[in-house]
Chain A
Amino acid sequence: MAQSVLRNIRYRGLTTCVPERAFSNVQDCPPEQRSERERLVRNIGIETRRVCLEGVVFSDLALVAAEKLIAGLGWEKSSIDALIVVTQSPDYPIPATAIILQDKLGLSHGTVAFDINLGCSGYAYGLFTLGSMLSAHGLKRGIMLVGDKSSNPLSLDNGLLSLFGDAATATALEFDEAAPPMYFNMGSDGSGHKAIIIEAGGQRVPIQPHHLERLPGADGISRKGTDVILDGPSILNFSIREVPVAVAELVEFSPFGLEDIDYFVFHQANRMINETIRKKLGLPAEKVPMSLKDFGNTSSASIPVTINTRLQEALAQGPQRLLLSGFGVGLSWASCILEIENAYLPPLIEI
């Protein structure tokens, strides 16, 4: 696996914005499905999810998170050199959402802005990309907006419907020679690209009228060609095979042992996957915070959502060394060890 050390990068702050609207996986479904849903909730560990109102998109949440972050840090907008958006829910196929947000946020024309098309693994990849740009000298301050609007309330796919929640997060990094190093481990396996895929709408499968109709698939579930298809067993096998190994490799690569890590924050895939990874690594549950129950699988936002909602108290008490690990669509995975100290971390924003 690719491993790397990033120096001189300070984690300055994190804000999270979610829709106020919450859907319950058990209550908000037809009564005849309730028993089935109870079993589902028990196993995937997701009770409620936040779902955007019609017409609200990822970048609307991201804009609010970014404004709060910039104001809370007291950063002059002209001092921000880079804006990276990590999402698979862009405003348009082109241009990049980051460039649209450069303008909406009132950042300067001197801003480096682009998107990264990654999902579940995206947070650590974003930290690595933005951190590398800043550590190369010249740029001083960068903001990274990470998340997705993955909910699809009209889907007929029960598994998918109860899994995804919407969230956007904003993270601030700054060049600082006194900052502790960050350690990274990253990998990709495109042979699994069909495990999580939207088949139609790109150039390989241009969109046709029949892609907009719900047609039954091999598994009996009706979907549109523009809907996400998840191959559960493949994702499960990939996650429980690669993630424990990647985490062990990263710890080995760093100067730390497992016992030196205060918290392990994993991508919130589902309870079954996350519990298996935790048990394989032999980690105590209290060192592995989870946000699945209240927010569901929030794609690339799931790691920062978990930090924001579950580690705020710990981070207010003093510096914490975290190991972050994201894995999924691609297939792609990335883990990172970093220390967070005195970061700006306001409570969750709901809109």
Chain B
Amino acid sequence: MSTIETFIEKFNEAVDFQEPVEVSADTRLETLPEWDSLAALGVIVMCDMEYKKTITGNDLSNCQTITDIYKLVA
């Protein structure tokens, strides 16, 4: 059963921030200080391995919140 909660857990693991921050479904990506190209690669791998979905760099640039990314795999 895939939920936004488990997605957020996997997201946190994938982005591997040096200084972890509280993330919720509505968190805007631009407010995350360490949301960068490395974090994006981590999320692409996570979506592929955990959700069998291919997310492109463009898909991610069009996302503003965590929920937007979740919608791509849900």
- Please give the residue numbers on chain A whose beta carbons come within 8 Å of chain B beta carbons, in ascending order: 35-36, 38-40, 42-44, 159, 219, 231-234, 236-237, 240-241, 272, 276, 279-280
Q: Is the interface of A mostly helix, strand, loop or mixed?
A: helix
Partner of B44, one of A39, A42, A236: A236
The 10 closest A-B pairs by CB, nearest first: A233-B57, A39-B18, A35-B18, A276-B45, A232-B37, A232-B41, A236-B41, A236-B44, A233-B44, A43-B38
Residues on A with beta carbons closer than 8 Å to the beta carbon of B56: 233-234, 237
Partner of B17, one of A39, A219, A240: A39
Query: Separation in Å of the A20 CB from the closest CB of chain B?
Result: 30
Number of A-B residue pairs having CB atoms within 8 Å of each other in the complex? 49
Q: Is the interface of B mostly helix, strand, loop or mixed?
A: helix
B40 adjacent to chain A (CB < 8 Å):
yes
Interface size on B, residues (CB 8 A): 17
Residues on A with beta carbons closer than 8 Å to the beta carbon of B38: 39-40, 43-44, 159
A-B residue pairs in contact (CB < 8 Å), sample of 26: A35-B18, A36-B18, A39-B17, A39-B38, A43-B16, A43-B38, A43-B41, A43-B42, A159-B37, A219-B37, A232-B37, A233-B37, A233-B40, A233-B56, A234-B56, A234-B57, A236-B45, A237-B44, A240-B48, A241-B54, A272-B41, A272-B42, A272-B45, A276-B45, A276-B48, A276-B49
Interface flags for B30-74 (1: CB within 8 Å of A; 0: not) read 000010011011101100110000101100100000000000000
Query: Separation in Å of the B72 CB from the closest CB of chain A?
Result: 13
